[in-house]
Structure 1
């Protein structure tokens, strides 16, 4: 058995590594090949091209690398048409993987895609192209599964790997001890994003909101994890400009530990909202993009909520502030409400725990089980160990 996979970035490589291990337990003779990062390579996947070739973000960067991306896709298509794998699995990177899957499927190769694009949120017409591209969509969230079923696309919800990885109850005392947080005052985690553009747009207002909250709650401690040294330098400059060096403590990496140590969080939209929910901390979400980009995107959007906890619950669990609404005063007031209304915070955290349990499905094993519909039963029963 031969299984082809393509991961487009390190987050996909982590998913792919877990999936390969789960598939190998069921199909011990399987051979894996494709575009892989260090995790997938260590799990036994043969790399045809370096993953870094596909890890391109931003319109200008994509255009600059487009000739190489197209060349790689043509090479993969030629290889797998000449010697078809039993299945092709695209892992995220939909702009690269779905067109490749569509051409392979037209040639008789069974195909799956792991991690749904946000087709449920905007440009929903793309689902017709997805239906032509894949025999199976492996979705992370239940609301995605419902969307695909409504559009007659074969789908399995496998849960989110972060829900498997993060314990159902995060140990605040242990996280505080690890970070040397000793004072008794409330602790605020501030996560303004992991890219320079996000931090540039949100960092100053997040810092100002923290300053306002400190005025209302003397003894407040503020922890801000920095994803990279370059982002740390950017944030240090913002703290100097705001004269907030004594209030905000920068931490190199360790974002999840910072969330676990905190009483509440102020985060940019995206996976950080999910991580804060899974750690079980009440949060305020904000996001801001270029005005023209927002004006165009808003016309295409089909959703009224953006924070993943709200999307998962189907109602407003946490405050969201988008574009001009994301002012320091508004953010500060929303954070203050979590500290001054403990019963509300406790109720929301209870709902977070329910959602966490719903997403905790052993994603790699669930994905491998679902792929059995395309691969057929294992030649011999192999015990599944976790």
Structure 2
């Protein structure tokens, strides 16, 4: 038995490694080959190329590297023809992976998409590719299974692999305890992991901090910087602020755990906030033009995955509205979110001030997040996906998820 992987993002590399650990428990003799990253290699995947080195965001960079992608596609197709693996597993990277899926289908090789692209958010036209080229869509979010099935795809909800990653992390408990010893409540600021996110959101967060201190003078603030470059960027902006702010690098998990509540840039960090059941406010800044056109591109009201998990109606007709604290349809929202092109720092601060002044409100939101975490954040996506793949490929002796979960957590 041999499975070919195609994984292009660093986060997908980790999810792929966890899936390989889980698959090995199901099918000990299975071989793993293909495109991935260093974590997958360490898990035992024979890499034909480290595709994570080509993880690009901008169209220009994609065009500059198009010859490399075409070469990798040709190489994969040749491998499918000469070796015919028993399955192809795709993770993230839809621009390239649609082409891998197409070649695999042409060779009669079953295709599994682990963690389906968020076509429901804005790119529904791509559903034709999912129907045509993907045999098994393994979904991350509870509402995705029905959405894909309603459009003719063979979809199954397995859970979000990011929770497997969070369960496997070890945080510095001494650092957390040190942060909690400070006088006054701690508000952690999470400005994003990309340079442009920090540039677009941190200034607003620092203004928010000034509003908070005006009402809660004892409040403390700490910025979680993703790397040294962003630490310098954050320090430059913090030096202009009227509020004293500590800056720590590579301490995101610890600072979330230590905080009373958080201010965060929209992204996968919302799942980490859910995992820690941490009351938080989400912000994402757009330029004026992008903000004006986004209602006509999105199909969902909320930009935060946690809020999409709590709504009965995630999909809306265009143009799509945005979260409004005073709108009854947004009463279910657990992480207030502000997608904006203007200064909304006063509104962000209002939520934090309410939580810091009223301990019962803070605890109520913590409890609500903890209840949702119990439903969707317990991990096990890698194991459920491995069991599904093994059974689909004829592994009639596939072990149950309960049998495998403990050993996978240790391996990851």
> Which residue is 1:290 aligned to?
287
Map 1:106-255 onto structure 2 (within 5 A).
Answer: 106-166=106-166, 176-177=176-177, 179-244=178-243, 247-255=244-252
Query: How far apart, in 1, do the equivalents of 2:203 and 2:226 lie?
Result: 17
1:283–1:172 Cα change, 3 Å? farther
Shift of 1:294: 3.6
The 3-state SS of whatever aligns with 1:145 is: helix
Greater alpha carbon shift after TM alignment, 333-342 vs 95-104? 333-342
In structure 1, distance between residues paired with 2:235 and 2:242 = 10
2:165 and 2:35 map into 1 onto residues whose CA distance is: 24
Q: After the TM superposition, which of the residue ranges 375-384 and 339-348 deviates more from structure 2?
A: 375-384
> What SS does the aligned partner of 2:117 have?
coil
1:361/1:318 CA distance change after superposition, 3 Å: closer
Q: Aligned partners of 2:338 and 2:185: how far apart in 1? A: 23
Q: Does the CA contact (< 8 Å) of 1:102 and 1:133 recur in 2?
A: yes
Aligned length: 382
| Preserved CA contact (<8 Å) 2:291 2:341 | no
Counterpart in the other structure of 2:388: 370
User: Does the 8 A contact of 2:195 with 2:230 survive in 1?
Assistant: yes
What RMSD, in angstroms, separates the aligned Cα atoms of the two structures? 2.4
Q: In the aligned structure 2, how far is the partner of 1:79 from the partner of 1:297?
A: 41
Shift of 1:54: 2.7
State the alpha-carbon separation in 1 of the partners of residues 371 and 398 from structure 2.
Answer: 37
Q: Is the aligned partner of 1:37 residue 2:37?
A: yes
Deviation at residue 51 of structure 1 after TM alignment: 2.7
Matches within 5 A, 1:243-282: 243-244=242-243, 247-282=244-279
Q: Secondary structure at the match of 2:159?
A: coil
| Residues 212 and 352, structure 2, Cα contact 8 Å, conserved in 1 | yes
Correspondence 1:353 to 2:370: yes
User: Mind listing any 5+ residue stretches in structure 2 that lack a counterpart?
Assistant: 312-331, 408-412
Higher mean C-alpha deviation, range 343-352 or range 234-243: 343-352
User: Does the CA contact (< 8 Å) of 1:222 and 1:249 recur in 2?
Assistant: yes
TM-score by length of 1: 0.92
Structure 1 residues 25, 202: CA separation in 2 closer, same or farther (over 3 Å shift)? Answer: same
> Is contact 2:262–2:278 with CA below 8 Å preserved after alignment?
yes
Go from structure 1 to structure 2 and tell me whether the alpha carbon gap of 1:165 and 1:48 turns closer, same or farther (over 3 Å shift). Answer: closer
- 1:253: how far off? 0.8
Does the CA contact (< 8 Å) of 1:94 and 1:117 recur in 2? yes
Deviation of the 1:196 alpha carbon: 1.1
Is the Cα contact below 8 Å between 2:274 and 2:306 reproduced in 1?
A: yes
Task: Check 1:23–1:83 CA distance in 2 against 1; reply closer, same or farther (3 A cut).
Answer: same
Choose 371-380 or 81-90, whichever is displaced more.
371-380
- Give the TM-score, by structure 2 length: 0.86
Indicate conservation of the 8 Å contact 1:175/1:260, yes or no. Answer: no
Cross-structure match for 1:309: 306
Match of 2:52 in 1: 52
